[in-house]
Amino acid sequence: MKTPKRLLPLVEEGLIDEVISQLMSGKEATVYVVRSGDATRCAKVYKDAKQRSFRQAASYREGRKVKNSRQQRAMEKGSRYGREVQEQAWQNAEVDALFQLANAGVRVPQPFICTDGVLLMELVTDADGNVAPRLNDVEMTEERALELHARLVNEVVRMLCAGMIHGDLSEYNILLAADGPVIIDLPQAVDAAGNLEAPAMLERDVNNLATYFGRFAPALLETRYGKEIWSLYEAGALHVDAALTGRVELDSTPIDLEAVLQELEDTRLDEEARLRYEQSLRSGT
């Protein structure tokens, strides 16, 4: 096929020898199958921020920092330069996440290089050497669903042990390769320790897995792995081989309503006292 304009610099630099076909076009990027020497790989071309349907919501950006203080200030101010830096950081986040997660033993595509808004990485294939299907396109038995669900929950645990949460995990960004499920699409991955919405994002990711696999194994719909995993993480007891049950013990301790009301009243009185003190300082009395 004709080489897309965004891939021409990589062809000129010898990183790509041939563009074979377009693999898919999504909300974040367009992906092409390419040849690099004797290897078949994929090139993920990130769409311009104005063209994307997925917005860089503040909830995903929270906790992300850049090393350059000037760039960090520009990002916080939202200036034109800051938006450019933020866009670059958004793209680099996926590359960083891929390397970090691969080192942690999470099955993700192997990244090679990211340049000019293009990520060159492993082409994930099935047992026949064809492009691996998305999980959403695969039918399975109950037994297979339980097996894949368990493997993916373990991948989520490995990610969290590495300090990261996918943030948008579902059957649409998991490929079923020859060696099992492969997690893709990570530009929105969040820092578990630096993002206040991390618990909710983790639970949503895990619930998405239960909802999908629950179509084939209904018992999974009653599980609560997300809450269990986060509870262990908060307690410092989470590790990659943690034995999970999918159940969470609910706190059945009765609420001391009188104590709660008293605490609210004490807070109100303290605030009134503070305001009176500030008023006296202003009036000089």
Annotated catalytic residue 185 = yes
Of 116, 126, 185, 256, catalytic: 185
What is the spatial distance between Cα 124 and Cα 130, in angstroms, rounded to a whole number?
Answer: 8
For the chain, what is the HEC assignment? Answer: CCCCHHHHHHHHCCCCCEEEEEEEECCCEEEEEEEECCEEEEEEEECCCCCCCCCCCHHHHCCCCCCCHHHHHHHHHCCHHHHHHHHHHHHHHHHHHHHHHHHCCCCCCCEEEEECCEEEEECCECCCCCECCEHHHCCCCHHHHHHHHHHHHHHHHHHHHCCEECCCCCHHHEEEECCEEEECCCCCCEECCCCCCHHHHHHHHHHHHHHHHCCCCHHHHHCCHHHHHHHHHHCCCCCCCCCCCCCCCCCCCCCCHHHHHHHHHHHHHHHHHHHHHHHHHHHCC
Beta bridge partners of 181: 176
Of 168, 241, 251, 256, catalytic: 168
Torsion, CA 31, CA 33, CA 36, CA 38, rounded to 10: 150
Neighbouring residues of 9: CB distance < 8 A, sequence distance ≥ 6: 115, 116, 118
Neighbouring residues of 223: CB distance < 8 A, sequence distance ≥ 6: 210, 246, 247
- Please list the active-site residues: 168, 185
